[in-house]
Amino acid sequence: MSLALQEAWKFQGYTLPNPAVGAVVLDKNGVLQGVGAHKKAGTPHGEVHAIKNAFLRLNSDLALNEELKTKEDSEDIHNFLKAHAKDLFQDGTIFVTLEPCNHVGQTPACSDLIASLGFKKVVIACKDPNKTASGGIEYLRSQG
């Protein structure tokens, strides 16, 4: 979690009116595979950056990796990962500094992406006080 917090601090003030959220992805063996943070309002959240970075490390299909590298829009990245990640994140862990968002705004819900990819464990530093964005914890629990 310390690494996720350090990453988030790098972008404090750049994501207003949203918080800068950091995330770290570990594989099923506990090996660090991806780190990311929300960098600017309206762009992919920290979870998306961390998962994208982990995909690029874990996936051996170079053509898919090159395709993912070209994607910057959050919805495009979400859709790509859901279509191509297969079981890369199954039994993995994601650490997030703030409860994953559970609504669709300028970006899709991070809680849905995390649940879709089969993470076994989600470690959250704090619950989101924003009533619009919160609910990710409950959603993830309902998805197992």
Catalytically annotated residues: 47
Nearest Cα residue to 88 out of 113, 123, 124? 113
Within 10 A of 100 (CB to CB), how many other CB atoms are there?
A: 29
For 6, 96, 100, the CA distances from 136, given in Å and listed in that order, are: 22, 11, 5
> Residue 13 contacts by C-beta under 8 Å, 6 or more apart in sequence?
20
The helix (run of H) or strand (run of E) holding residue 122 is: strand 121-124
